[in-house]
Structure 1
Amino acid sequence: MLWSVIIPVKTTQAAKTRLELAGTDRPQLALAIALDTIAAAARAEAVGEVVVVTSDADVQAGVEQIEGARWVSDPGMGLNGAARAGLERATHDARAAMLGDLPALRSNDLDRALLSATAEERSFVPDVEETGSVFVAWRSPATFEPHFGSGSAEKHAQAGHVRLPIPATNTLRRDVDTVEHLHEAYELGVGPRTAALLNAARARTAA
């Protein structure tokens, strides 16, 4: 079974406002995180396409360089509205939406979640803190309704989504909203774009 994976991405100017790290430009860091996430998702064997929903020109340009990914315009209706827009434009019956701030994501970890999701009509994966949702999947296109945002793990569970048995060590669960989260992701091993920025920042602050 091949999946369409939808990734909503904010404009880099508006993204990651809590992610001020010495020696880095926040919009550039947000862009790197998003593109590393998209590239990792596109490499997953179970992913037939990645649909990125964004109005950011830099994200759009970056997506065009990633094989297996394409972008559609963000309708400007918030995170869930963006996710729905991507889900409606997907080409595979099996569809998932995931966050775009998973710079440590490994393709095989996403494959494990998608394989597990094939057994459920609706499912989700919470973040490491157990409060938010990083990934939501629908095996049938008629059932999708994302509930991202504050307390989304509980909201998805209450809406009938089954929590998938994905361990906390799985890189899919480490989203990045704060500097502490970013350090944790770095220890797991972030993608090349994020790593280049963080390594350069560390070199500048150490000089």
Structure 2
Amino acid sequence: MLWSVVIPVKTTQSGKSRLEISGADRPQLALAIALDTVAAAASAQAVGEVVVVTSDADVQAGVEQIDGATWIPDPGMSLNGAARAGLERASHEARAVMLGDLPALTAADLDDALARATGQERAVVPDAEGSGSVLVTWRVPGAHEAHFGTDSAAKHADAGHTVLDVPASSTLRRDVDTAEQLEVAAALGLGPRTTALLEAARAA
């Protein structure tokens, strides 16, 4: 079974506003993190397509260089609106929305989570802190409604999504908004774009 994975991505100018790394350009770092996330998702065996929802021209250009990934314009209706737009364009019955700030993500960890979601009509994977949602899945046709925002893991659970028992060590659960979170993710191994940018910053 193949999945459509939707990844909403903010503009790099507005994204990662809390992520300040000495010597690193924040918009470029946000771009690297997003594209590493998209590339990892597109290389997962269970993923048939990645649909990136974004209005950022640099993200769009980067996505066009990644096999298995396409982009559509962000309708400008918040993260949940972007998720809805991507889900409506998805071509596989099994659909998921994933955050675009997972620079340590590996295809194997995404495949593991999607395998766990296969037996569930709806499911959610919380972030490492347990309050946010990094992956939300649907296995049945019909309305697909995401509930990202404050305490989104609880909101998805209240909406009938099964909380998947994905290990805390999974790279899927390591979303990055701060320098401290990036440091933790780096210990797991970052994607090539993020790694190259941080190495250049350290060398500057």
Q: TM-score under structure 1 normalisation?
A: 0.97
Following superposition of structure 1 onto structure 2, how do residues 34-183 of structure 1 map, counting pairs within 5 Å?
34-183=34-183
Q: Tell me what 1:21 maps to.
A: 21
User: C-alpha offsets along residues 40-67 of structure 1, whole Å, 9 cap, x if unaligned?
Assistant: 0000000000000000000000000000
Name the count of aligned residue pairs: 204
**Letter in structure 1 aligned against 2:159:** A
1:195 is the counterpart of 2:195: yes
C-alpha deviation, 1:149, in angstroms: 1.1
The 3-state SS of whatever aligns with 1:141 is coil
Task: Check the 8 A contact 1:99/1:134 in 2, yes or no.
Answer: yes
CA distance in 2 between counterparts of 1:180 and 1:167 reads 20
Q: Tell me what 2:2 maps to.
A: 2
**Letter in structure 2 aligned against 1:86:** G
The 3-state SS of whatever aligns with 2:202 is helix
Task: Check the 8 A contact 1:3/1:46 in 2, yes or no.
Answer: yes
The 3-state SS of whatever aligns with 1:65 is coil
Q: Percent identity?
A: 72
CA distance in 2 between counterparts of 1:141 and 1:110 reads 22
Deviation >6 Å, runs of 4+:
none
C-alpha deviation, 1:199, in angstroms: 1.3
**Letter in structure 2 aligned against 1:156:** H
C-alpha deviation, 1:162, in angstroms: 0.1
CA distance in 1 between counterparts of 2:200 and 2:184 reads 18
CA distance in 1 between counterparts of 2:149 and 2:98 reads 12
CA distance in 1 between counterparts of 2:63 and 2:189 reads 21
Task: Check the 8 A contact 1:134/1:175 in 2, yes or no.
Answer: yes
Task: Check the 8 A contact 1:122/1:143 in 2, yes or no.
Answer: no
Q: Tell me what 1:30 maps to.
A: 30
**Letter in structure 1 aligned against 2:85:** A
Q: Gapped runs of 5+ residues in structure 1?
A: none
C-alpha deviation, 1:143, in angstroms: 4.0
C-alpha deviation, 1:20, in angstroms: 1.1
Task: Check the 8 A contact 1:99/1:175 in 2, yes or no.
Answer: yes
The 3-state SS of whatever aligns with 1:142 is coil
The 3-state SS of whatever aligns with 1:128 is coil
User: C-alpha offsets along residues 143-201 of structure 1, whole Å, 9 cap, x if unaligned?
Assistant: 42100111101100111100011011000000001000011111110000000011122
**Letter in structure 2 aligned against 1:181:** Q
